[in-house]
Amino acid sequence: MTKVLVYLWFDVEDYVTPDADEPPKRIIDILSRHNVEATFKVVAEKLRALKEREREDVIGALSRMDVGYHLDTHSRHPTLYEYLADKDVKTGSAEFLRRESDGYNLVKNTLNRQLSCFGHPGPTWAPQVYPALREMGIPVYLDDTSILNLDDSPYWYCNVLNLNGAGRNFINLDYFFEQPEGLEKMKRRFKAIHKRLSRRGGAISILFHLHTIVNRQFWDEVNFARGRNPPSHMLVRPLRQPPEVTDRAYRDFEELVKYMKSFDNIQFITAQDAASIFQDTSTRLVINSDTLVKLAEKTVREIRHQKVDDAYLSPAQIFYIATMAAAAYADSNVFPTELTPSQPLGPLSSNRTRGPRSLSTRTLLEASRNALQTIDETGYVPNEIRIGESILTPEDYLATVCSLLVLFLRKRRLPDRIVVKNGTLAQKRYVNSRTFAKACRWTMLPEDFKAPKILQQALLQTWTLKPAAVVSA
């Protein structure tokens, strides 16, 4: 049987309810008894509340675990979507750093841990946070979204490892214990996923919002829904779980842990473990002319991630390689025999191709030098590429350059002129616009909230999307 990875993750976020301070400690005790590793994503305001309530025992327990960041105040307004709504990836990343650095440092310093991951509040996944995560030194995005899904498996997006979008392999433990038969339902679900993944390998994502052990409602819904922003002294606790339900939650969770451990091919991992298990080895590839022409041929038909040896190249990396090859020929009239991929981010805006559809080959090659310089200076694929009197989208430019590479590398022919090809970024199909629209209706957000810029940026950054391959387990 193939090994199946299981990542258990817990959101520690309810800073309103004193009773919600206890579940993290109790759950950590259970995990420790059974020698199971897990990740706890912590809201900074929760730590402030724990300090104020003198719960050093809870802080001490969390400091022994793998810890991630779950925003400064989670659902207090402006929420993540509200302050990113009108920003592109570059300016949104700067805004995220401005608003979240203090909370990040508080969690990191209080728990004395290098934070392994980040995850969004509610359904509000947004691409703007990714460059900020890299700047913060956070290697993994750990959460779940159905806005972006790549075959229900871990993936790379904006050069950050994502355990985010497990789809059929996702289990939510919130409130499973409210009914006596809940434990058996969870066991059956885990068994079914495990059986399916044991044929080919994979990862199971399991989420538990720990405040649901003591709360019958989500703590933020009763305080911040529909844009409400009460002062701290007016925050109210949600309806309580009956004591017998809370007791059953702990018992059933422990039984579920023992059940999952009974499978021989299960490996529990944390976000920190994942950063070692899934590694992007693409920057160590050396692309020779044979590989380059194969990449180019496929890209002319469809722009998507491609596998080379045991690594994957994103469309943005293929853009860089093809542009580097064309720029080198512009300089020396020789295509390079070896190329090394870089990791640019996708473009920041959408445009359309305009101008003549027939290009001078020499002008196209020289324009590649400017495109390469733009990537090297900014770290982003250009929004558009000017070639003589024509302006091309990155998709059309890449398809056209790749068609030129194929002509030369296959037929040793370099025509004086070349017709602009229509490039298609296939990666966009992994983004679900209907699910994004649903996320914009999250209970916390104001009525009629819309953020088309976030969806636009999500689509543009699929230039960076590719599978995450296991290098060790």
- The tokens for 454 are 């976030």
Look at residue 255 and tell me whether its pLDDT is greater than 60: yes
DSSP letter at 389 equals: T
| Distance (Å, whole) CA 109 – CA 103 | 10
Q: How far apart are CA 462 and CA 460, in angstroms?
A: 5
What pLDDT is attached to residue 472?
52
pLDDT at 471: 78
Q: 326, 329, 327, 335: which is closest to 289 by C-alpha?
A: 335
pTM (predicted TM-score): 0.97
Coil, strand or helix: which one is 445? coil
294-348 pLDDT tens trace: 999 999 999 999 999 999 999 999 999 999 999 999 999 988 889 999 999 999 9
The letter for the amino acid at 3 is K
**Annotated domain spans of the chain:** 4-278, 282-429
Strands (E), 66-133: 66-69, 117-118
Cα–Cα distance list, 192 to 27, 145, 195, 270 (Å) = 25, 21, 5, 22
Q: What is the mean pLDDT of the chain?
A: 97
Strands (E), 95-231: 117-118, 140-143, 155-157, 160-164, 170-172, 202-209
Q: What is the pLDDT of residues 85-108, one digit of tens each?
A: 999 999 999 999 999 999 999 999
Cβ contact 381:344 at 8 Å: yes
d(CA 281, CA 470): 10
CA distance 391 to 394: 10
Nearest to 259 by CA among 176, 184, 175, 202: 184
Query: Coil, strand or helix: which one is 384?
Result: coil
**In the CATH scheme, what is the code of domain 4-278?**
3.20.20.370
Residues 21-30, mean pLDDT to the nearest whole number: 98
468 pLDDT exceeds 60?
A: yes
Cα dihedral 422, 427, 429, 435 in deg (nearest 10):
-140
Task: Let me know if 411 is exposed, middle or buried by CB neighbors in 10 A (0-12, 13-18, 19+).
Answer: exposed
pLDDT in tens, 370-416: 999 999 999 999 999 999 999 999 999 999 999 999 999 988 889 99
Structural element, H or E, at residue 432:
none
> Residues of the chain with pLDDT > 70: what percent?
99
Q: Is 226 left (phi over 0), alpha (psi -120 to 50) or beta?
A: left
Task: Give the HSE-up count for residue 344: Cα atoms under 13 Å, Cβ half-sphere.
Answer: 30
Query: What is the structure's pLDDT at 473?
Result: 44
Assign 252 to helix, strand or coil. helix
Predicted confidence (pLDDT) per residue in 112-157, tens digit:
999 999 999 999 999 999 999 999 999 999 999 999 999 999 999 9
Q: How far apart are CA 167 and CA 169, in angstroms?
A: 5
Nearest one of 192, 51, 85, 47 to 454, comparing CA atoms? 85
pLDDT for position 38: 98
Which residue in 128, 151, 89 sits closest to 141, CA to CA?
128
